[in-house]
Structure 1
Amino acid sequence: MSAGGGTKAIIAALVANAGIAVAKFVGFLITGSSSMLAESVHSVADTSNQGLLLLGQKTAQRKATRLHPFGYGRDRYFWSFVVALMLFTLGSVFALYEGIHKLQHPEDLSSPLVAVGILVVAIGLETYSFLTAIKESKLIKGNATWWEFIRNSRTPELPVVLLEDAGALIGLVLALLGVGLSTVTGNPVFDALGTVAIGLLLGVIAIILIIEMKSLLIGEGASDADLDVICGELATGKVQKVIHIKTQYIGPDELLVAAKIALEPRLPLDEVAQAINDAETRVRAKVPHARLIYLEPDLDRSTVTHS
């Protein structure tokens, strides 16, 4: 996926969440619903998160410097990690606090129909954002399941938006149930329970994202499929075998490949150089994001290891 990949989904989510946040806050001021307040803060956090994802895409495009010779591609991982932390602190923790507080001190809702109307509109807007994220993700998901895509994607923004939107939709349904049951039964405890459920949901999503973004920040290597292709393209022509290889993503669109390769014995120096250049060309043709390739010629003294 290109550096700007997923931008449409991020912008759609930003616009939707900004509008939803305003509507929810108005609804909270009218109704006093704790689940509405929790959802309001959740939408504010999501709006900020989309802004941070766009910031990460922008700063990641900076040119490499002597201090950062491999560039700033990991900025996208960093800001996605910050987004996960914000979802946990501003979303989950606040919702849990508000829900527990309202369980201890229940308050009757006023104008619950206003809250229901706002939540229904919010579900419509959030559905649009979610469908946009799904459409963008399908362009790069391939045959992987959605869970595999979230777990294995080296591009952080779309998995973040997908999980945020899914959490937002489920949270809206929970808020709607809380407000609806409180209205029907006259018991405000259901609204508070809806708020607690929203907090737990956001906590689970945030923890998943924190784990995944932390893994990307530390550095992940090529997928098994890409690694097999790389090794296959290297071990062709005058390259007898790959003795040892290491890979790492230094940004969503930039894979570093470092390998020790065994060449045919007694090759002249110019043929050694040509064999290395040809190997790099073959790899880049099949795995375009393998932009940085460092190959070391050697004698065949070991077996192939992947790491």
Structure 2
Amino acid sequence: MNLWSVIEGALVAGADSKKSIFYALSANGAITVVKAVAAFVTGSGSLLAEAVHSLADCGNQALLLLGLSKAKHPPSDEFPLGSGKEIYFWSFIVAILLFSMGGLFSINEGIHKLQAHEPLRMPALALGVLVFALFAEGAALFGCIREINKVRGERSLLRWFRESRQSELIVIFAEDLAALLGLSLAIIAVAASWITGEPRYDAMGSIAIGTVLVLVAVFLAKEVKDLLVGQGVEKPVRKEMLAFLQAQQQVDAVLNLRTLHMGTDVMVAIKARMARHPDDVSMIESINEIEKAFKGRFPEVAWLFFEPDLRD
């Protein structure tokens, strides 16, 4: 599958996620080569760490586009609930790459620079590239937050991060935030080396950047792991679903409500005690009406299983 077909598949996916991925991919694509060339010219370990970080991010965003495309595969006998969880798998791979290719490489590069005591060449160029990258990454983060604001409501960014079920949007936000933190550390490290003439500050900057990337990757992996294991809908959505069901005249009581996120789709299983009906056919018709209304109210629900019962 070529990259264009992956991108076309992503365009069909949620606009929020797609826009955020392309914001980040555009920013990283524009600055990866610039960082790498500047790192080679200046010999800056912090700048090299940032170049590898941006390269890893480009690969990560391509993987997210691949995941969004694969998640749209229709249900089959082998995968009866579809392939929505593909995006969780690829998001977890991104966290691993961020940890290894980004974080561990940067730490290793910083340790090497500490031992080598290589002088920093053309620090003004290094700072110029880092400041340019800071603005580019800031624009990408702004675009990502703009899309997040459409879905997070009154929640803080941290609460949204912990509760959201959109793993691809979580990954992009974490990557952009890590990039800004890393660039800030790199600017401080290069400036300190330039002012003092001590190259070890630049090396320590590389180690600090790697540490930030490792911490972000671990936190990100934990959040995506929960989705892989199987999380239901967010608490406000579940509360809304219960209220909707309890408001139906044909339902006497909701005995149980189970939900499961499958990427952009949701599976819902309902067990309810039905109000008295004249016969079984009438009850079945009522259940069909409730299912239709429920899917109309919650369009993300792709699979709905309704079981009438007397007790849970």
SS at 1:110's partner residue? coil
Q: 2:254 aligns with which of 242, 263, 268?
A: 242
**Which structure is higher in helix share?**
2
Kindly state the Cα deviation for residue 89 of structure 1 after the two structures are TM-superposed. Answer: 0.5
How many residues end up aligned between the 2 structures?
299
For the 8 Å contact 1:229–1:286, the answer to whether it is kept is no
> TM-score, normalised to structure 2's length?
0.92
SS at 1:294's partner residue? strand
Q: Any stretches of 5+ residues in structure 1 without a counterpart?
A: 303-307
> TM-score, normalised to structure 1's length?
0.94
**Residue 47 (structure 1) aligned with residue 58 (structure 2):** yes
SS at 2:301's partner residue? coil
In 1, Cα distance between equivalents of 2:235 and 2:37: 50
For the 8 Å contact 1:108–1:188, the answer to whether it is kept is yes
SS at 1:61's partner residue? coil
Kindly state the Cα deviation for residue 288 of structure 1 after the two structures are TM-superposed. Answer: 2.1
SS at 1:107's partner residue? coil
**Residue 298 (structure 1) aligned with residue 309 (structure 2):** yes
Greater mean alpha carbon deviation, residues 267-276 or residues 224-233: 224-233
SS at 1:291's partner residue? strand
> How many percent identity over aligned positions?
39
Alignment map for 1:1-307 (pairs within 5 Å): 3-5=13-15, 6-235=17-246, 236-251=248-263, 253-265=264-276, 267-299=278-310, 301-302=311-312
For the 8 Å contact 2:277–2:283, the answer to whether it is kept is no
For the 8 Å contact 1:234–1:282, the answer to whether it is kept is no
In 2, Cα distance between equivalents of 1:49 and 1:63: 24
In 1, Cα distance between equivalents of 2:48 and 2:56: 12
RMSD: 1.4
Kindly state the Cα deviation for residue 204 of structure 1 after the two structures are TM-superposed. Answer: 1.1
In 2, Cα distance between equivalents of 1:129 and 1:224: 29
For the 8 Å contact 1:81–1:214, the answer to whether it is kept is yes
Kindly state the Cα deviation for residue 121 of structure 1 after the two structures are TM-superposed. Answer: 1.1
- 4+ residue runs over 3 A deviation: none
In 2, Cα distance between equivalents of 1:256 and 1:4: 18
In 1, Cα distance between equivalents of 2:184 and 2:235: 39
Q: Counterpart in 1 of 2:6?
A: none
Kindly state the Cα deviation for residue 7 of structure 1 after the two structures are TM-superposed. Answer: 1.1
For the 8 Å contact 1:226–1:287, the answer to whether it is kept is no
Q: Any stretches of 5+ residues in structure 2 without a counterpart?
A: 1-11
SS at 1:11's partner residue? helix
